[in-house]
A and B are shown apart, each in its own frame.
Chain A
Amino acid sequence: MADFQDVSYSVPVEGEIAQPQVPEEEDDDELSTLDEPVKDTFIRDMKVIGSKFAHIIYPRSNSLLLRDWDLWGPLVLCVILAVFLNGAKDETTGGQGPQFAEVFVVVWVGAGIVTLNAQLLGGKISFFQSVCVLGYCILPLVVAMIICWFLVKIFEQSIVFVVIRIILVAAAYGWSIFGPCLITHLQCMIPITVVTASVAFLGDSQPKGRKALAVFPICLFYFILAWMVVTYS
């Protein structure tokens, strides 16, 4: 203890002990969501989902769907599709159409299988990002489903009616697959290789030369969904 010196100051301690203020502008958004009304949160989330729908219909940027992925949009689309298809009567056999659970399982398990395949092929995309994009790209088919539903309710069945429905669903299928990439091509001048489907978004995540392998199951997945929609009566 002898080593310690008795330190005493006769002069009072002076100075600033306040820490420099860190600008907290970035945290404001995060903090403010804690005490905001539920309505605001809901509306904000709906706006985000809506902007993603807009990206499917009219793609402007490739990165939004991949960067801020969510599963709300796919869930909403899947539920709408399943509700409309649920229990539709098949007049050929008198049997019932696909059940809610069947459509639901087909959408999610199908998306899962397609994603797994993309991962096995060496795609550099996370599981939920891919499921998100695949789910959002059902949108054209859901729109076609709703239009078909109104057509079935309003008009009587005839051969012209069936042809119109087939054309409508084929267009929606094409939109799900080729639409986004074609428009992206026109706007961003991104060269289309084998590009696929919803694969204006997903195609680039695959190594070169493998795109066709990743695209085939996507086409098959949307084809089954389109088939379900077109056979609805």
Chain B
Amino acid sequence: MRVVYLDNNATTRVADEVREEMLPYLSELYGNPSSMHTFGGQVHRKIETAREQVAALINAEPEEIIFTSCGTESDNTAIMSCLASSPQKRHIITTRVEHPAVLNFCKTMSRRGYRVTFLPVDKSGRLDLDELQSAITDDTAVVSVMYANNESGVIFPISEIAAIVKARGVPFHTDAVQAAGKIPVDVKKIPVDMMSLSGHKIHAAKGVGALYVRRGTRFSPYIIGGHQERGRRAGTENVASIVGFGRACELAREHLPEEGTRIKEMRDRLERGLHSTCPGARTNGDPENRLPNTLNISFEYVEGEAILLRLNEFNICASSGSACTSGSLEPSHVLRAMGVPFTAIHGSVRFSLSRYTTDEDIDLVLEKMPGIIKELRDLSPYGREAGQAGAHSP
């Protein structure tokens, strides 16, 4: 059976063009880019090409790009570098809705004696910039705020945030893992010091990420060892994945216009369709400032894992912020921070599209979802009234 993959914020399929580009580096071109011989040298040159391609996606200079093993490493490296650069400063500012790569890193730092401010968000998942403004002190070593949220898709006003932070002379990092390749990202227009990127979210292979470090920013490496990446990230390069990442960034640039048109239209059709056919549906997150590929929608009085496993029967892949899917007993920290009501917080489903998503994929979800929600709601002791009322609403 065909797989309907609508979980692209979790990971994406490797583009065919990317795989083709990678293959020689998994077979005949196995040289070490650090070697003196021509055989290794050609690999080195290819990595530099990839660096240019990654830089181009965010309008950076190639020497501002450091390859890492993943988005998480980029995030950890960025924050750690800022802390190491001003060891006398003991305060970190971030948000309550960050990816665990930032959130849990900051929590760990808080256990190691740092003071951490976790900025709240409103019901739509938006930040209060005045609150950010007043949280910054002379003791603040770094502000790390994500570009776009992986769960809700909400895009933060990163230019304004960066301007506020830089006006106070504090280093600013943003996790742009979900934003890059989906919306235009331009480091020449945003005064950001560091930015994290990940390969596998944009149709490259898993195991490669990048950290943008603005020229002139104080930097202290996280992984210590050899002189790779000009001494800023030791360890022999994951050559094939880096090469593929470069190509994936090039493809992402080419396809960027499609994100705001075809992909967004499919997402909107899915959203409208689910709202009209499934009673008690509510979209989570600011619909105005949202990634074009992401829909986070809750179905009241039913539980998310149950929805996912019913969808799974039709080979439809999605995610949920419900407690049961996370292995923890509490629903997603993002939805909790947004104050999603208790009737809906356990029943969230995230659909995330990509350029490989087709109209048929959306059709299948729209066909199957009303039945799934109805059956699960029939099983549920709650919301019987809601279900009946919904049947009469438009």
Bound pair (A, B): no
Chain A residues close to B by CB (< 8 Å):
none
